[in-house]
Structure 1
Amino acid sequence: MNKFEVLGIVGEGAYGVVLKCRHKDTNELVAIKKFKDSEENEEVKETTLRELKMLRTLKQDNIVELKEAFRRRGKLYLVFEYVERNMLELLEEFPTGAPPDKVRSYIFQLIKAINWCHKNEIVHRDIKPENLLIGSNDILKLCDFGFARNLSEGTDANYTEYVATRWYRSPELLLGAPYGKAVDMWSVGCILGELSDGQPLFPGESEIDQLFTIQKVLGPLPAEQMKLFYNNPRFHGIRFPSVTHPQTLERRYQCIMSGLMLDLMKSMLLLNPTERFLTEQSLNHPVFQPLRQVEREKSSPASPNPPRSSKRKTHHHGENTVPTRSHTKSSSRRSTSKECSSLPRHGDLHHLSNESFLNGNKPAPSSLSPTLHPKGQYLSQTLNRSASSSKDLANNNLPHLLSPKEPKGKTEFDFNLGPSAKLSDQGHGAKYGHSKPSSSRSQQQQQQLQQQQQQ
């Protein structure tokens, strides 16, 4: 801690305190989570080590970044990036609900963070406004993995009885039933409602009241969950009042939420966890289409230059200037023919896997490297061998046309379109063959003229 200056306390919890600090050398602001004596308390020790392990596994734009961890005098310190505020403070700023565009952006980012957790078989289990950090640039960060659980570590799904703040707990958690990734999605649905009108969706005062509050909006629990309730010793002798006319989410958020957003919310708040939307279904919901489009545009490579006019200048080979009749055809094919369909175009990005935007990973350049059809030699006629033309080719990410065996200054291209023109079989980025003087179009025409004169 000697290299940090403590500026204040950000928050306190059951396991320790979070401090706002400044690095003395770099002046960087950080948040340091200082745990209680973990060596003496086994529960604290287990929680701290679990969070440390999770955060080292999870690296994603919408998950708070763990910068370093160290131990001093039996206490564990986790150093995080500093984020200005959490969602509770945002809700105070918007007491009647945040603007719809902000709501959509925050929920989209939150689901992306959870998606990355679930891909690593990690369930957060404590998603609530206090654990959602909001930066000055409106970037959301999921934090506090003290209650998180790795599903791959055991087969017993009935993990911990108490997880998640009550208002954001799913029915299966409240009932002590086996659970999985769907519990996180229920929490997202609750947060979506709270962001939209500024009020918690299910503000139960106890576990019993929480279950009843859920039913007052969504209707009676399914038969299997009701059976679990009556068989649970904690709820022995308790009966719910009948709910014949639930409020419904439609009536609750009428004129507050768009139809598409309401549809997503209903899919995340289904009482039966097996029917509830998970992360990939949610991210692909039509309500997020504009945000997916923005991400595709950010991850797409630079667009190739538009096709040039079909009227081409003739190519010069030494002293002879030979017009090529097929230039018009070949140039018109550049944007329409199947031979060029493998070149990266903006539209092709729609067919990339969901993981491309879902994971913030940009497609590797090699994945967009075109596999050229032999007829792709028509492209060679449209290329100018000047230095500026070579620069344009490099910017368009087209395959290299120069043979690695030949120096640039001595390289010539084969413009012969006859059957003898062959493409080297090298897969992606295959090289064009080099021309021989005897196969030039000018020499062929001279031979034809000599034959006609002899006849």
Structure 2
Amino acid sequence: MDRVRKLSLSIKRSVIDKTIRENSELTSDQEKSDDTTEMKHPISSDHESKEKQHYKKSAQFSPAARRGSFSNTSKALDNKLLNLEDKFRRRSRSSSQACVEIKTAISNLREKSNRQERRKSFSELGFGKLESYDKLHKLGEVFIASCKEQGTYATVFKGRSKLTNDFVALKEIRLEHEEGAPCTAIREVSLLKDLKHANIVTLHDTIHTERSLVLVFEYLDRDLKQYMDSCGSILDMSNVKIFLFQLLRGLAYCHSRRVLHRDLKPQNLLINERGELKLADFGLARAKSVPSKTYSSEVVTLWYRPPDVLLGSTEYSTSIDMWGVGCIFYEMATGLPMFPGSSTENQLQTIWEILGTPTEEEWSGLTRNLKVNSLSFHDCKGEPLRNRAPRLEADGLDLLAKFLQYKAKSRISSADAMKHKYFDCFGPEVQILKDSKILFNSS
């Protein structure tokens, strides 16, 4: 009897040891699977550079949302995983196919749980809610024009989305109870909602509260003016070409949809650390398809305003933006504003001095313009553009001249400018890029 009892105990121990080894192997496989999952779906670390977190392409969810370690969902998941492991272990401990099925089932269950956690996060926070964003620090104040004479101010904050952990720019517009949201803000929202392009800033969310309207934009480090200042106003000419092409890409997309920006200037062109340039601030933009007998002549910051608009023209098209592109092109190439006027009259005189006083052939009907006749101008011969922008090569000077035509209809379009020989070095591929693709590979 003692021999039988000892033999029985020995058999039980061997069975237990075997079970322990198999459990250990399954646990090891599961941990490897978890490690692989973690490698495929990295989680942002507090020790990781905050600036680098902003530039990750894919949305990343917080560790709590992904793992749910202390949630009821996580406990239920753990129980289901144990049941699955027991089920397949009983079916065939020695079968490699069973191990594959276990891993597949566990992976599917984890993914389902992650989706449930994310849906829960979005429902608790979600879009259109101020609680979905953390304000980090103030970036500055911007003036918001209004359809009425008096505008208002908006405060811009750097923030972080609690849903994606990405940096955002929060443009908080204070509301006047009598007037409500400024028409320019409403216009910007309505236009950006339909403008989806790699070279146009993305509007992620809009939040309307009793006291403010908050526009949530993708965050970019600086604008073109700040970038030029940080470089001592002297940009590398290859960067000038890259920035100009991206500006034209974004503008061509807008113009193809009959949208005029109407306020192009370096401060409204945003740049990130990858060198991507994006059009921003569509507060003065207008869809040309919207019925309107005339547009306002008080658009575009003075230095970048074309002469026809300076003289009161309200019947303009995409050409209004192309003059501004020429001014920005010159400023990037020289480090100086091209036409730094102090008033409408002085602005026109500055243009005349550089480009020469326009003739009737260059600008039909100019001599009959009442505003021109009411102002006193000096006749100027102008000077060659190569003297003012010596760093520009011949092709660059030719393109600059095509932007700065007195006659609005003679100015080169954004689409044609992209095909100019100045950009031949980029190759033909850049002409057929999808709207969502950037000019260069940033990986």
TM-score category by the smaller chain? 0.5 to 0.7
Give the match for residue 353 of structure 2: 216
> What is the aligned partner in structure 1 of residue 45 from structure 2?
none
Report the alpha carbon displacement of residue 229 of structure 1 after superposing the two structures with TM. 7.4
The Cα shift of 1:125 comes to 0.3
Aligned residue number for residue 324 of structure 2? 187
**Residue in 2 aligned with 1:338?**
none
Q: Deviations over 1:407-432 (max 9, x none)?
A: xxxxxxxxxxxxxxxxxxxxxxxxxx
Match status 1:287 vs 2:422:
yes
Please name the residue that 2:270 is paired with. Answer: 133
Residue number among 26, 35, 47 corresponding to 2:164 in the alignment: 26
Q: CA RMSD in A?
A: 2.2
CA distance in 2, matches of 1:39, 1:127: 31
2:290 counterpart letter in structure 1 = E
Q: How does 1:345-356 map to 2 (within 5 A)?
A: 356=432
Specify the SS of the correspondent of 2:160: strand
The verdict on how the C-alpha distance between 1:39 and 1:149 changes in structure 2, with shifts beyond 3 A counting, is: farther
Secondary structure of 2:338's counterpart equals: coil
1:25 is displaced (CA, Å) by 4.6
Residue of structure 2 equivalent to 1:8: 137
CA distance in 2, matches of 1:32, 1:210: 34
Counterpart CA distance in 1 for 2:434 and 2:344 is 35
Q: Secondary structure at the match of 2:379?
A: coil
The 2-side partners of 1:229 and 1:19 are apart by 49
Q: What is the 5 A alignment of 1:40-51? A: 40-41=178-179, 45-51=182-188
Q: Does the 8 Å contact 1:67/1:80 carry over to 2?
A: yes
Give the unaligned 5+ runs of structure 2: 1-129, 145-153, 439-443
Distance 2:142 2:338 in 1: 24
Aligned residues with identical type, % of pairs: 33
Q: CA separation of 1:53/1:250 partners in 2, compared to 1, >3 Å: closer, same or farther?
A: same
1:152 alignment partner, SS class? coil
CA separation in 2, counterparts of 1:100 and 1:358?
26
> Which aligned pairs between 1:357-396 and structure 2 lie closer than 5 A?
357=433, 359=435
Q: Judge conservation of contact 1:172–1:225 (CA < 8 Å) in 2.
A: no
Alignment-mate amino acid for residue 259 of structure 1:
A
Contact 2:264–2:324 (CA<8 Å) still a contact in 1? yes
Whether 1:36 aligns to 2:112 is: no
Asked whether 1:71 is paired with 2:208, we answer: yes
Rounded Cα–Cα distance in structure 2 between residues aligned with 1:155 and 1:6 = 39
Runs of 5+ in structure 1 lacking a partner?
A: 296-353, 363-455
The corresponding residue for 1:263 is 398
SS for the counterpart of 1:14 is strand
The farther-off stretch of 10-19 and 281-290 is 10-19
Using a 3 Å threshold, how does the CA distance of structure 1 residues 265 and 175 change in structure 2: closer, same or farther?
Answer: same
Contact 1:222 1:271 survives alignment (8 Å): no
Q: Deviations over 1:158-182 (max 9, x none)?
A: 3012111111111111111121101
The equivalent position to 1:252 in structure 2, one of 371, 378, 388, is 388
Q: CA deviation at 1:237?
A: 3.5
Report the structure, 1 or 2, having the larger helix content. Answer: 2
Residue pair 1:174, 1:211 contacting (<8 A) in 2 also: yes
TM-score normalised according to structure 2 size:
0.63
1:359-391 per-position Cα deviation (integer Å, ceiling 9, x unaligned):
4579xxxxxxxxxxxxxxxxxxxxxxxxxxxxx
Name the residue aligned to 2:117: none
